[in-house]
């Protein structure tokens, strides 16, 4: 391994210029953002689709993302990305259903919808609980892994102590977050997206040229085949089906079983099925329904098809450059492969740009989670239950204080977190059983507050119980326990994320459906008020008998649109992937599917929206 090289003054100039730009944007928008909570958290609901969609893309790329992709590729293989690729199928519901419904609802936060859809104390409790749960526990884990990843990059690139790196990241992010509000977030997101794409593509090209091109890279990988570094699944987009006649236990421990559960269960069962908090925040900030839909479609295209492949290329190159991660970076694990490639191959200027791309991504994601989390604490707890009649400027001021507190606590969480991808998995498990009720609350009148409370409580209880079992088993065996990293063993099987889903999802569904039928439905007046507001379509028999729609129900033609979206986004995603790895015939077929899907999406939806 080459030693860490001190940054050139050009690199420092680029880094400091970006920080100055970000602070300048924050200062520029500070007065406008502070005028009201709607301006501070939603930019006054005035944003066009290209700003909203790009902001969605930028927010979902943090410093953790290429490092987690590197963990996937260097670990199980490229196919492990189905852990998040599967979510496209749920995201398309966000495009064609929920982007329009959230814009119609005109809420400041998605939790506000709970007291529009449900009634009484159960609705108030659910609103307060979900706001606290996602703003604090969920946000701590997400921001913790994001800070952890950024600290990993800085500690490798600048040869800096990780503690120092964490607090440096925290100070930069919290100052900018307090100043900017949502206006600053979305404006800097545009710049961040351009920088991040340029940086990741540049690094991928340089890394590929360094090893002699794709053909040479594939040859080098084949020479490492069968070792602990490269397995037969490393470059596969879909893991192979196990041999027929294989033992049941072995099948459920195989990569294919994991892939199968990802594409059949995960995409509709998790807590972000109806959009997810900070994506919903952006849907709500769009000018109108058409802009909300277009923004969400652009986000999915860029998120799944355009952005991932430069990271995959660098991760694969890192295998040949660093088959074994150097001892000095062992604490970071295999995710260190990505910043090690950066450090080894980039010269003055480019290294600064890559560090800025990570810094920009980090600041964008942290700002979003702080702004979104504080919107929950202010709108759904503080304003709703404690101080309902204060001025708008008062709420913004209290929000800034809460921003600092959230940031500091998230930084301490980061210091205790080792594996980024394992933290991802824990988060998914915590909300794994709630997805179906989040979908059906829009389209089925019988869902009530107790349905949602039961689904979420069941998921949280089972996930934490499994983590406690892992803790006890690890300590009993006198092994070292790592948060989210130690796996429980049940029925002789070491439970991975897909096994946990097969426990959590069925139990949660049975629980919430049972509770739904054993509790009273929401009052008819409440249901009528909700339906009149959003007019979703679906199973609202008692409500829609004599109802005259003034808005088009979003369920019309949804199945064809969903299939078209799958063809479009997956076609582009894997068409590009097969082209990169020289599988030309598959690439042509997949681009053809993408073309058909794109035509149907335009013809059936986009051309008809005002």
Residue pLDDT, tens place only, 357-379: 888 788 878 888 888 999 999 99
Total-model pTM: 0.88
Share of the chain above pLDDT 90, in %: 43
In a domain, 599, yes or no: yes
Same domain, 581 and 497: no
Looking at the predicted structure, is the pLDDT value of residue 544 above 50? yes
pLDDT band at 419 (very low <50, low <70, confident <90, very high): low
Average pLDDT over residues 519-542: 93
Closest CA to 97 of 399, 336, 439: 439
Average pLDDT over residues 145-151: 77
| Amino acid 208: pLDDT | 96
Same domain, 424 and 485: yes
Same domain, 169 and 271: yes
In a domain, 528, yes or no: no
Average pLDDT over residues 273-283: 84
Average pLDDT over residues 473-501: 80
Same domain, 454 and 573: no
Same domain, 505 and 571: no
| Amino acid 296: pLDDT | 93
Same domain, 477 and 566: no
189-203, 305-319, 360-374, 532-546, range with greatest mean pLDDT: 305-319
In a domain, 539, yes or no: no
Calpha distance 440→270 (Å, rounded):
13
Residue 73 CA: distances (Å) to CA of 1, 24, 369: 21, 38, 27
| Amino acid 610: pLDDT | 67
CATH number, residue 261: 1.20.1730.10
Length of the chain: 610
In a domain, 584, yes or no: yes
Looking at the predicted structure, is the pLDDT value of residue 91 above 70? yes
> Which range among 256-265, 268-277, 569-578 shows the weakest confidence by mean pLDDT?
268-277
| Amino acid 418: pLDDT | 59
| Amino acid 452: pLDDT | 95
Q: In the listed set 522, 539, 568, which residue is the last one of a domain according to the structure?
A: 522
Looking at the predicted structure, is the pLDDT value of residue 207 above 90? yes
Average pLDDT over residues 310-314: 96
Same domain, 516 and 569: no
Same domain, 465 and 570: no
Under 8 Å between Cβ of 508 and 434: yes
| Amino acid 607: pLDDT | 85
Q: Which domain holds residue 106?
A: 17-33+48-522
Calpha distance 521→445 (Å, rounded):
8
Q: In the listed set 522, 544, 575, which residue is the last one of a domain according to the structure?
A: 522
Instruction: State both tokens at 571.
Output: 């076609």
Average pLDDT over residues 517-525: 95
Calpha distance 345→364 (Å, rounded):
26
Instruction: State both tokens at 350.
Output: 């480019």
Provide DSSP, 418-487: --HHHHHHHHHHHTTT-HHHHHHHHHBTT--HHHHHHHHHHHHHHHHHHHHHHHHHHHHTT----TTTS-
pLDDT band at 349 (very low <50, low <70, confident <90, very high): confident
CA-based torsion, 581, 582, 584, 585: positive or negative: negative
Same domain, 317 and 186: yes
Same domain, 284 and 385: yes
- Looking at the structure of the chain, the number of domains it has is 2
Average pLDDT over residues 460-485: 84
CA-based torsion, 314, 317, 319, 321: positive or negative: negative
In a domain, 7, yes or no: no
In a domain, 486, yes or no: yes
Same domain, 459 and 391: yes
In a domain, 544, yes or no: no
Neighbours of 17 (CB within 10 A): 12
Closest CA to 364 of 95, 142, 173, 593: 173
Same domain, 492 and 563: no
Residue 578 CA: distances (Å) to CA of 103, 305, 330: 37, 12, 32
In a domain, 541, yes or no: no
């Amino acid at each position: 391994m080459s030693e860490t090289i001190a940054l050139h003054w050009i690199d420092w100039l680029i880094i400091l210029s970006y920080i100055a730009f970000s602070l300048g944007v924050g200062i520029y928008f500070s007065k406008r953002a502070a005028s009201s909570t709607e301006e501070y958290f939603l930019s006054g609901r005035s944003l066009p689709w290209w700003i909203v969609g790009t902001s969605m893309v930028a927010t979902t790329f943090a410093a953790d993302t290429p490092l987690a992709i590197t963990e996937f590729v260097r670990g199980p293989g490229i196919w492990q990305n189905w852990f998040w690729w599967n979510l496209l199928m749920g995201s398309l519901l966000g495009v064609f259903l929920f982007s329009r419904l959230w814009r119609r609802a005109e809420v400041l936060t998605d939790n506000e919808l709970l007291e529009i859809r449900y009634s009484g104390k159960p609705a108030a409790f659910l609103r307060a609980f979900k706001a606290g749960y996602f703003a604090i526990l969920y946000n701590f884990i997400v921001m913790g892994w994001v800070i952890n990843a950024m600290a990993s990059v800085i500690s490798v690139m600048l040869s800096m102590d990780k503690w120092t790196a964490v607090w440096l990241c925290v100070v930069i992010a919290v100052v900018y977050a307090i100043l900017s509000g949502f206006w600053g977030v979305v404006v800097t997101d545009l710049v961040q997206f351009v920088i991040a794409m340029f940086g990741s593509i540049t690094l991928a090209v340089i890394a590929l040229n360094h090893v002699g091109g794709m053909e040479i890279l594939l040859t080098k990988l084949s020479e490492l085949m069968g070792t602990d570094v490269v397995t037969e699944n490393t470059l596969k987009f879909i893991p192979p089906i196990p041999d027929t006649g294989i033992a049941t236990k072995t099948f459920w421990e195989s990569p294919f079983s994991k892939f199968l559960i990802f594409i059949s269960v995960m995409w509709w069962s998790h807590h972000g099925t109806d959009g997810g908090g900070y994506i919903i925040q952006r849907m709500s900030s769009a000018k109108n329904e058409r802009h909300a839909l277009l923004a969400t479609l652009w986000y999915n295209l860029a998120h799944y098809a355009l952005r991932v492949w430069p990271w995959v290329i660098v991760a694969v190159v890192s295998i040949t450059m660093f088959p074994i991660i150097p001892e000095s970076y062992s604490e970071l694990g295999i995710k260190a492969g990505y910043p090690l490639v950066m450090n080894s191959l980039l010269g003055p200027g480019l290294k600064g740009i890559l560090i800025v791309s990570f810094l920009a991504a980090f600041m964008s994601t942290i700002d979003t989670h702080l702004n979104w989390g504080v919107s929950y604490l202010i709108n759904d707890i503080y304003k709703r239950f404690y101080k309902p009649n204060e001025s708008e400027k008062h709420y913004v001021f209290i929000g800034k204080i809460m921003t600092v507190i959230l940031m500091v606590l998230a930084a301490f969480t980061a210091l205790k977190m080792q594996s980024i991808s394992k933290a991802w998995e824990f988060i998914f498990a915590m909300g794994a059983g709630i997805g179906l009720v989040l979908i059906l609350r829009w389209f089925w009148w019988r869902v009530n507050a107790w349905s949602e409370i039961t689904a979420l409580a069941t998921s949280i209880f089972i996930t934490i119980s499994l983590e406690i079992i892992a803790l006890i088993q690890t300590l009993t065996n006198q092994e070292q326990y790592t948060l989210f990293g130690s796996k429980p063993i049940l029925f002789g099987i070491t439970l991975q994320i897909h096994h946990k889903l097969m426990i959590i999802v069925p139990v949660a569904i049975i629980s919430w459906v049972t509770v739904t039928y054993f509790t009273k439905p929401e009052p008819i007046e409440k249901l009528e008020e909700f339906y009149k507001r959003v007019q979703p379509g679906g199973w609202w028999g008692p409500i829609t008998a004599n109802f005259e729609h003034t808005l088009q129900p979003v369920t019309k033609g949804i199945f064809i649109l969903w299939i078209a979206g799958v063809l479009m986004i997956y076609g582009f995603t894997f068409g590009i992937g097969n082209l990169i790895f020289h599988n030309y015939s598959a690439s042509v077929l997949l681009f053809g599917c993408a073309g058909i899907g794109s035509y149907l999406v335009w013809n059936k939806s986009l051309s008809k929206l005002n």
